[in-house]
Amino acid sequence: MSNNPFPLPKEKLLEAYTKMKTIREFEERLHVEFAKGDIPGFVHLYAGEEASGTGIMMHLEDKDRIASTHRGHGHCIAKGVEVEGMMAEIYGKSTGTGHGKGGSMHIADLSKGMMGANGILGAGAPLICGAALASKFRGDGGVGITFFGDGASNQGTVLESMNLAAVWNLPVIFVVENNGYAESTSIDYAVAVDSYIDRAAGFGIPGVTVDGTDFFAVYEAAGEIIKRAREGGGPAFLECKMVRFFGHFEGDAQTYRAKGENEENRANKDCIKIFRSKVSGAGVISEAELNKIDDEVLARIEASVQRAKKDPLPTAKDLLTDVYVSY
């Protein structure tokens, strides 16, 4: 009997860990760098939520499309976007994924099926319906996944998209990454029916809630949901309950949090610690192997920051390029 009790072979477990760790270090480093004032615009960090994006994206191929949120770095990395181009984009440099014109909230890489982070709450949902409709027409078996938070779930675009996806039986998965805070507004104040699963049920879409701090819970549930959508089973809804280590945005004083909440989250709800404990406890991946990945990831993030700082800014003559797309 194999000594690997997990539903992925060791090389895939290593890949998942590398992705989660890359997201974490990318965000931890941005937290530091943003405070120095060198980064234009705003950043919204995904640290703490890595198991959700990674657990879902481990099932996807480049032909599968995702539409992300303003908190999109983790989705980008999990979908395979290169961190060097992302870092340069966040620094506003011409070597970035959007040639430095979009910044953190507009990172996209269509070659990887990443349709873009999005500064408009709930705007990814109709986009992904379009991508899923295209896949359905082409018959290529592609699926579309849109991420949004508990706040954006109130947007009309999200609700209209759920209706459209149900009516057209689109291969769309709506993923609400529920970190408990809609920016700083309590769910009690802003949401009439707090259960996201209930909302999906209202459109005849099946919904599932999983522990978003457990990579394996997300991975298994997402696998069934994505397989179903790929085979024509229609849209589904997935709620990942998770924690966010940083504020809504960098600079958020987080006065809405309970005393000690961040410390508790870091100590007991860290999805990377939980993953490490499971795979090393089962004897599948050693601590030394995980530490080696940590070192490699740190070196890559360091190099991407140094490169981004040195790379050139876009020039005035670039102002009107990349504005329109030719069809």
Partner 1 sequence: MAPLVGIVANPVSASDIRRIVSNASTLQVTDRANIILRVLSALRACGVTDVLMMPEKSGIRRHITRAYERAANLKEDIFPELHVVRQDITSTVRDTVRATAAMREAGCKIIIVLGGDGTHRAVVSQCGDIPIAGISTGTNNAFPEHREPTITGMAVGLAAMGKVPEAFAFEGNKRLDITIGDTIKDIAIVDVAVVTERFVGAKAIWKPENFRELFVTFSDPEVIGMSAIAGLLEPVSRREAHGLMVNLAPPHEAKTLLNVPFAPGIIGAIGVNSVRRMPAGVPYKLDFPAGTIALDGERELAFDQSDDVTITLVKDAFRTVNVSAIMRYASQHGLMKVKAK
Facing residues of 146 across strands? 67, 174
Give 117 or 200: the residue with its C-beta nearer to partner 1. Answer: 200
Give 130 or 206: the residue with its C-beta nearer to partner 1. Answer: 206
Contacts of 299 (CB under 8 A, 6+ apart): none
Give 198 or 318: the residue with its C-beta nearer to partner 1. Answer: 198
CB of 28 to partner 1, least distance (A): 26
Of 18, 32, 6, 36, whose CA–CA distance to 80 is shortest? 18
Give 195 or 291: the residue with its C-beta nearer to partner 1. Answer: 195
Of 206, 257, 217, 226, whose CA–CA distance to 141 is shortest? 226
CB of 216 to partner 1, least distance (A): 5
- Distance, first Cα to last Cα, the chain: 54
Facing residues of 163 across strands? none
Give 3 or 326: the residue with its C-beta nearer to partner 1. Answer: 3
- Residues near partner 1 (CB under 8 A) are 1, 5-7, 187-188, 191, 193-195, 197-198, 200-201, 206-211, 214, 216-217, 219-221, 224-225, 228, 236, 239, 241, 278
Helix, strand or coil for residue 109?
A: strand
Give 27 or 214: the residue with its C-beta nearer to partner 1. Answer: 214
Element (H, E) at 158: helix 156-167
Task: Check the CA dihedral 125-123-105-211 and report its sign.
Answer: negative
CB of 156 to partner 1, least distance (A): 21
CB of 39 to partner 1, least distance (A): 34
CB of 94 to partner 1, least distance (A): 44
CB of 225 to partner 1, least distance (A): 5
* Alpha carbon distances (Å) from 104 to 40, 83, 132, 142, 274: 9, 12, 25, 26, 28
Question: Long-range contact list for 35-39, CB < 8 A, 24+ apart?
Answer: 35/250, 38/91, 38/309, 39/90, 39/91, 39/92, 39/104
